[in-house]
Amino acid sequence: MQRREFLSRSAALASAPMILRHAGASRRVTALHADGARVNEWLSRFDQVGRSAGGINRVAYSDADLAGRRFTQQLFADAGLATRVDAAGNIWARIDGSQRDATPIIIGSHVDSVTDGGNFDGPVGSFAAIEVARTLKERGEALQHPLDVVVWANEEGGTVGSKCAVGEVATVNLDAVARSGVSIREGIGRIGGDIARLETAVRRKGSVHCYLELHIEQGGTLERTGRDIGTVIGIVGLRWYTVTVTGFANHAGTTPMDQRQDALLAASKFAVALNETVRAEPGRQVVTVGRMIPSPNTQNVIPGRVETSIDLRDLDEAKLDRFAARFRQIASEIGQSTGTTFEFQELIRSKPAMSDDRLMAAIDASADSLGLSSQRMPSGAGHDAQELGLICPMAMIFVPSVGGISHSPREFTKAKDVANGVDVLLNAVRRADTL
Ligand code: HGY
Ligand code: MN
Ligand code: MN
């Protein structure tokens, strides 16, 4: 897609009212149903894997992540699907198609979580993909295209596994320390990958028929409009940075106020300035300062150092570039006025991605055929699908999040909505197979 078209669509998208689509009763085609109850049973058992006091902690490369991956591999085995782990740590299974030389349809998601997260972000799409393959196998229904089912590694650390799979590993800082405390480089080895052979995990542009992913919405739009299904029209691009602010640790009592180099004061001014800068401009851009770790973090010492973070997102890549440059300017202004220095380390960047029109139509038609209402909508969350969009047509299916809550132990999606999502994924795969 030309950049101009992308920008005009994403600008239109950013401001357009949601395009509502109603179930076309007259155009229903008999649809296939998967076993949604089975998927919900897997989810309820999975809820105990990697759960701690704060919520779900299956953070990538941790022991809880390893337990989550073992649980998931057992689901593949129960479905009669042999799995392999690629050099990036992604888990794969394949069902052959009737057309031997056809490129594969890929479906899947992730099972790693954020810190103190929920049980639905990732597993709903991963388990649905296993269920789709299992249903097709049990019915003896062969697609023309091979069907690859994947569980991506370390989605929450910046779609690392899928970046490796599309040849974008250069945009990943492999020495960054993941939430589990190990570096990405080390973590890939922990989950069965092989950092020295990452190029063997790469799928080339043109080698994949299409990619479809079911995911919880992680926002409140579907709940607000009362629609069953979201057909995702585009996924925001994102930039993640670690910013280190350096001042001078000194005595809290004897250092006069005008002779301080207070790193926490500087970092706090920075967080407020970023928020004001992004809110000053109309649009759907968002910025979050999620971490702020002072040292020595002691009552009576002026903080000499702060490690903080930036998560910046928008559908328009030029806007991301512009805000990133503005943030560096703000940092140097605050540094001047507080006697501190700011150092930016880029952790991850993901490009914005627009969905494929034909796949979106397949999702809409699948929802219609199941008597479900649907609407077109953007994704404010990042997903593996945006990486796959670099090498093949992609689209996503959203199901409602209760209260629009996600990345929280209160994350929840109703059993009927999970079952609806699985059915739409199954029928969208069958339609995509004819494209
Ligand atoms: O951060 C995100 O948007 C996604 O949930 N990984
Ligand atoms: Mn996710
Ligand atoms: Mn997430």
pLDDT of residue 357: 98
pLDDT of residue 30: 62
- Please state, in angstroms and rounded to a whole number, the distance separating the CA atoms of residues 109 and 86: 15
- pLDDT beyond 80 at 25: no
What is the per-residue pLDDT across 194-205, written as a single tens digit (0 to 9) for each?
999 999 999 999
Mean pLDDT calculated for residue range 281-291: 97
Whether the predicted model's global pTM rises above the 0.85 cut: yes
- pLDDT beyond 60 at 17: no
Respond yes or no on whether the N-terminal peptide bond of residue 17 is cis (omega within 30° of 0).
no
CA of 122 to the centre of ligand 2 (A): 5
pLDDT of residue 176: 86
Q: Contact at 8 Å (CB) between 312 and 251?
A: no
- Please state, in angstroms and rounded to a whole number, the distance separating the CA atoms of residues 96 and 104: 9
Instruction: Find the ligand nearest to 113 CA.
Output: 3
What is the per-residue pLDDT across 222-247, written as a single tens digit (0 to 9) for each?
999 999 999 999 999 999 999 999 99
Mean pLDDT calculated for residue range 109-129: 98
pLDDT of residue 378: 96
pLDDT of residue 13: 42
pLDDT of residue 171: 86
CA of 343 to the centre of ligand 1 (A): 24
CA of 370 to the centre of ligand 3 (A): 28
Mean pLDDT is lowest, of 8-17, 50-59, 195-204, 333-342, for 8-17
- Please state, in angstroms and rounded to a whole number, the distance separating the CA atoms of residues 434 and 254: 75
- Please state, in angstroms and rounded to a whole number, the distance separating the CA atoms of residues 56 and 302: 35
Degrees, nearest 5: CA angle 43-47-50: 130
Instruction: Find the ligand nearest to 125 CA.
Output: 2
Mean pLDDT calculated for residue range 128-145: 96
Closest CA to 385 of 356, 364, 405, 358: 356
- Please state, in angstroms and rounded to a whole number, the distance separating the CA atoms of residues 118 and 62: 16
Ligand 1: atom nearest CA of 380 is 3
What is the per-residue pLDDT across 333-377, written as a single tens digit (0 to 9) for each?
999 999 999 999 999 999 999 999 999 999 999 999 999 999 999
